[in-house]
Structure 1
Amino acid sequence: VRLHIKETWKTLTRSHEHLLQSAKDTKLDHKTDTPWLVYISPLEDCPDIQTVLERSLSSKDMQRIEIRTLPSEVEAIKEHGLLYLPGPYVVPGGRFNEMYGWDSYFILLGLLHDEEWELAQSQVDQLLYQVKHYGTILNANRTYMLSRSQPPVLSMMVLALFQHTQDEEWLRTTVPLLEQFYYYWVVPPHLNPGTGLSRFYAFGEGPAPEVVFSERDDEGKSHYDRVKEYYQTFEIDDYDVNLYYDRENDKLTHLFYKADRTMRESGFDITNRFGPFSADILHYAPVCLNSLLYQVEQDLVQINAILGNEQLEKQWRDRGGYRRNRIDQFLWNEERGLYCDYHFQSGKRRCYEFATTFYPLWLGISSQAQAQRVVENLSLFEAPGGILTSTHITGNQWDAPFGWAPLTFIAVQGLHRYGFHTQGDRIANKFLAMVIKEFERHNTLVEKYDVERCSANVSDEISFGYSSN
């Protein structure tokens, strides 16, 4: 398995010489006789970049690519394409042939472990470039994802890389971009002023382009078609379905599509965590996002301490303390012994058991007593193959019976942080045993597993979104 991972870094790396490969996007309809579009930031010199690319690509490949300057208004983009990044980066693979925001954190940990130093540096630098040139870290570097971000893990990546390089000059250059990315999340519309906590919020409107074309079943129905069928068939008491579905005209509403895009910003697409299809996500302060923002604040404490900025160090420490209190007040459920997402319109927590309850342990937000309570609920999530994403079987990939490496990693790290080493080791060993067994069977690693059956074969169990692995 380790050898497979080491060899796969090269396979999954995209750079200038792979630009045609990167530009190709199976998630969108594309006419075979038309070039693939690559958009350049308006802050860059487009002719200069074209010259650089011509040195890296054959004339045949260049003819299959069209370079354009990105319009200043996202709405002006009528034909979608790849967003240019200047250096090499690693993609998840399969249908995901672009750089993803929060995937990159876990990719970076692997690169550092395998001593792929240059690629690790570039992976972080491409995300910093996105903040500078595209305004935030994107869901992924495609134009149809310009209007949504992904969970904020950039500061953790910067510090993880700095631990290796000890390059204080580089670290100093990251601070304005880290702050810019932080403020993306802590002002309206991402901020909920009533709680002082943040929410996910995508800026785009209408159906997500990648869903319309690529997430279709054998009958040709899109994910959105299946959602409408669900609304026609089942009674829903999680939220007011009239906000999201016009039953009389059999149409999903503008608010549904806004929520659907927002769910994709969260990284958890698709789950019923915020009601069926997470359609009510816009009305929640989530455990995961606010835990990560606390970590950003702590990371900026550490960075400013390294750089000798005592006043800024104190300011960031105060911000972290404020958020920690807010998390305790709104997201901790003492009765259940779990962290739960907070519905700020109703003023109630939604106790949908979800593995993000381990985030506050992972990031050191919990008290020892709170961590103990979460561990007492470990049996809700522990399965033969590791950690269940949730306790609910919904036909969505981010629910039971599925488990994912990042959530297992987070749970295990959180357990160890609070001294629950026996439990952490047990879950890690379960997950690794399953991964190795399935690798020996299929000769590949996959993104999700049925952790009840300890199997990589999951497609038949997924009803919504894309079902591939």
Structure 2
Amino acid sequence: MSDATKRANEAKAARVAKADTLTPADRYQELFIDVQMSRVFDDGKTFVDCVPRKDPEQILEAYRARCDAEDFDLARFVHAHFEQPQVHKSHYVSPPGQSLRDHIDSLWDVLTRHPHEHPPNSSILPLPNDYVVPGGRFAELYYWDSYFTMLGLDESGRHDLLASMADNFAYLIDTYGHVPNGNRTYYLSRSQPPVFAFMVELFEARGVCKAIEYLPHLRKEYNYWMSGAEELRPGDTRRHCVCLEDGAILNRYWDDRDSPREEAYREDVLTARRSRRPAHQVFRELRAGAASGWDFSSRWCDGADLSTIRTTSILPVDLNCFLYKLERQICVLNRAADQRKQAEKFEQRARMRKAAIERLLWNERAGAYLDYDWERGGPREALTSAAATPLFVGLASAEQAQRTARALQDRLLRDGGLGTSELESGQQWDKPNGWAPLQWMAICGMRNYGIALADEIACRWLKTVGSLYKRESKLVEKYVITHDGDNAEGGGGGEYPLQDGFGWTNGVTRRLLHEHPHNEANEARAASRH
């Protein structure tokens, strides 16, 4: 990045309107609770994304003045005072015969949002540059989604958007100290799987920027995840950090709030009512589950019932591998900057984390990496596709990689790709669904160790995506993968209907189409319209 470009980006960031970080619940108080619990909108995310038609304080005053009247109509009041977000059932209709590759290339502009379109007094957190959203109800930037989306932007030659998004993520870290779950005020209290280190590698590999330019941002993100770690003693916890009995520190998912998620307020209240625990504890666990990106999954629960969720009691394989990668990346960049003491410090931290992962998360009996329940002092027995993450970051030994691949093949490989978990709970991050980011990490991880199963997973996934595209002319958020790829279906379960778009499916598929030019998915064409 030239000095002139850097100055232009800094000037652009300086012009971003100072964000009002009040969340909709903070701003609208009892009006917010009334709207969400009365289910004025079928989707709880609709109201938190609404734009007020006048000053929010005036709206709240008007509500308080009228809400006790016998003829007060809450729905009518809300529709009069708020503009609803426009949610497209399908963002883009392929012309008949359009190839899957061209469909994805055409979608990037459809899914791009522009800073000048950010309305005042809404929940959106302004950004300095254009960015790509997933699609459907997800009309904002999401953290870990964006890395997998970027893989496709790169293959489509959209380095303009890569550069814009690089600076957006740097801006978020500079402004808020971390990358929020998404650029909404109600997402500020949590992050998502920390993949900025992978983004930075991609930016440098494609000539978008030099990785070393983002060293301060990587350090700042690391400090967010490790906040309070240095004061912990064995058995202590603080936010994302857990200090184990031997003094090793590993990380968990966390959210700084313990109230219902604002975008799913009613659902969380009803979930907490089914639990014997204090409601605020359940709310924290639900929020931490959302921070994991796996929202929701039996992975975080005692069984299939979401009211048993215990996310903060679990040390996840994937999170700790991502933080290992972050420590390694900071070490490498410190060396490049001739900051040798800092490099040695982060090399030691990565070494200690790796040792703790080997000791607690590698399970010899399962022949795979399993999450660890630090409260109960034992492994979580369920195998999930997160077990591939140590291969993705290059932490596993050759033997561990081979054994993990065999376990995933025996227990999670399905006709349509790699499964998410072995339990069918009704949650979307469970059987029978498959997700693009999980395919990608498994494929890349196995390739790192020369394991042939990588290509098999890629081919099965492409067949699934291509089959649905030929029939329905679209890509979706998740897929049922227990069927043969020729009979692919969009996934289900969870809190909301299946979404079209879709950012990370587009990104991973576009990259795999390039890497497998002879795969039949390259010949997939949009269906004729009836």
Task: Tell me the residue number matched to 1:66.
Answer: 120
Task: Tell me the residue number matched to 1:135.
Answer: 177
CA deviation after TM superposition for structure 1 residue 18, in Å:
3.3
Task: Tell me the residue number matched to 2:277.
Answer: 243
Equivalences for 1:269-418 in 2 at 5 Å? 269-275=295-301, 276-277=305-306, 279-377=309-407, 378-418=409-449
Identity of aligned residues (%): 33
Aligned partners of 2:468 and 2:489 also within 8 Å = no
Aligned partners of 1:448 and 1:456 also within 8 Å = no
The one-letter code sitting in structure 2 at the alignment partner of 1:387 is L
CA deviation after TM superposition for structure 1 residue 347, in Å:
0.9
TM-score under structure 2 normalisation? 0.69
State how far apart, in whole Å, the 1-side matches of 2:269 and 2:476 are: 25
Structure 1 residues without counterparts, runs of 5 or longer: 20-64, 68-79, 214-221, 232-240, 245-252
State how far apart, in whole Å, the 2-side matches of 1:118 and 1:308 are: 31
3-state SS of paired residue (1:351): coil
State how far apart, in whole Å, the 2-side matches of 1:304 and 1:165 are: 20
The one-letter code sitting in structure 2 at the alignment partner of 1:97 is A
Task: Tell me the residue number matched to 2:45.
Answer: none
Structure 2 residues without counterparts, runs of 5 or longer: 1-99, 228-237, 500-530
State how far apart, in whole Å, the 1-side matches of 2:215 and 2:451 are: 35
| Closer/same/farther in 2, CA of residues 98 and 166 from structure 1, 3 Å limit | closer
State how far apart, in whole Å, the 2-side matches of 1:167 and 1:151 are: 23
State how far apart, in whole Å, the 2-side matches of 1:308 and 1:440 are: 53
Residue 310 of structure 2 corresponds to residue 211 of structure 1:
no
User: Which among 264, 275, 286 is matched to residue 260 of structure 1?
Assistant: 286
CA deviation after TM superposition for structure 1 residue 12, in Å:
0.6
**In terms of mean alpha carbon deviation, does 191-200 or 310-319 score higher?**
310-319
- CA deviations on 1:245-295 (whole Å, 9 max, x unpaired) are xxxxxxxx1100011111001100011102143710111111010000001
Residue 155 of structure 2 corresponds to residue 113 of structure 1:
yes
State how far apart, in whole Å, the 2-side matches of 1:140 and 1:166 are: 23
| Closer/same/farther in 2, CA of residues 165 and 429 from structure 1, 3 Å limit | same
RMSD, matched Cα: 1.8
State how far apart, in whole Å, the 2-side matches of 1:113 and 1:316 are: 33
Task: Tell me the residue number matched to 2:85.
Answer: none
Task: Tell me the residue number matched to 2:253.
Answer: 200
Aligned partners of 2:272 and 2:282 also within 8 Å = no
Equivalences for 1:33-52 in 2 at 5 Å? none
- CA deviations on 1:386-422 (whole Å, 9 max, x unpaired) are 000001100010000000011011111111111112x
CA deviation after TM superposition for structure 1 residue 184, in Å:
1.1
- CA deviations on 1:301-348 (whole Å, 9 max, x unpaired) are 222233333333222222111110010011111111121111111111
The one-letter code sitting in structure 2 at the alignment partner of 1:6 is D
Task: Tell me the residue number matched to 2:114.
Answer: 15
CA deviation after TM superposition for structure 1 residue 109, in Å:
1.5
Aligned partners of 1:139 and 1:150 also within 8 Å = yes
| Closer/same/farther in 2, CA of residues 306 and 166 from structure 1, 3 Å limit | farther
3-state SS of paired residue (1:174): helix
Aligned partners of 1:446 and 1:456 also within 8 Å = no
State how far apart, in whole Å, the 1-side matches of 2:366 and 2:444 are: 22
Aligned partners of 2:331 and 2:342 also within 8 Å = yes
Residue 238 of structure 2 corresponds to residue 185 of structure 1:
no
- CA deviations on 1:23-65 (whole Å, 9 max, x unpaired) are xxxxxxxxxxxxxxxxxxxxxxxxxxxxxxxxxxxxxxxxxx3
The one-letter code sitting in structure 2 at the alignment partner of 1:207 is P
Q: Could you say which structure has the larger radius of gyration?
A: 2
**In terms of mean alpha carbon deviation, does 271-280 or 435-444 score higher?**
271-280
The one-letter code sitting in structure 1 at the alignment partner of 2:104 is I
Residue 468 of structure 2 corresponds to residue 435 of structure 1:
no
Aligned partners of 2:143 and 2:179 also within 8 Å = yes
State how far apart, in whole Å, the 2-side matches of 1:259 and 1:166 are: 38
State how far apart, in whole Å, the 2-side matches of 1:16 and 1:83 are: 10
CA deviation after TM superposition for structure 1 residue 189, in Å:
1.4
Q: What count of residue pairs does the alignment treat as equivalent?
A: 380
- CA deviations on 1:85-116 (whole Å, 9 max, x unpaired) are 11111100110000001011111111122221
Aligned partners of 1:223 and 1:465 also within 8 Å = no
- CA deviations on 1:172-201 (whole Å, 9 max, x unpaired) are 442122111111112331110124101111
State how far apart, in whole Å, the 2-side matches of 1:205 and 1:286 are: 20
CA deviation after TM superposition for structure 1 residue 8, in Å:
0.7
Aligned partners of 1:86 and 1:126 also within 8 Å = yes
Equivalences for 1:155-174 in 2 at 5 Å? 155-165=197-207, 167-168=209-210, 171-174=211-214
Task: Tell me the residue number matched to 2:52.
Answer: none
3-state SS of paired residue (2:120): strand
State how far apart, in whole Å, the 1-side matches of 2:174 and 2:454 are: 38
The one-letter code sitting in structure 1 at the alignment partner of 2:370 is C
Aligned partners of 1:458 and 1:467 also within 8 Å = no
The one-letter code sitting in structure 2 at the alignment partner of 1:260 is L
The one-letter code sitting in structure 1 at the alignment partner of 2:214 is T
State how far apart, in whole Å, the 2-side matches of 1:243 and 1:354 are: 27
The one-letter code sitting in structure 2 at the alignment partner of 1:344 is W
Task: Tell me the residue number matched to 2:194.
Answer: 152
| Closer/same/farther in 2, CA of residues 208 and 291 from structure 1, 3 Å limit | same
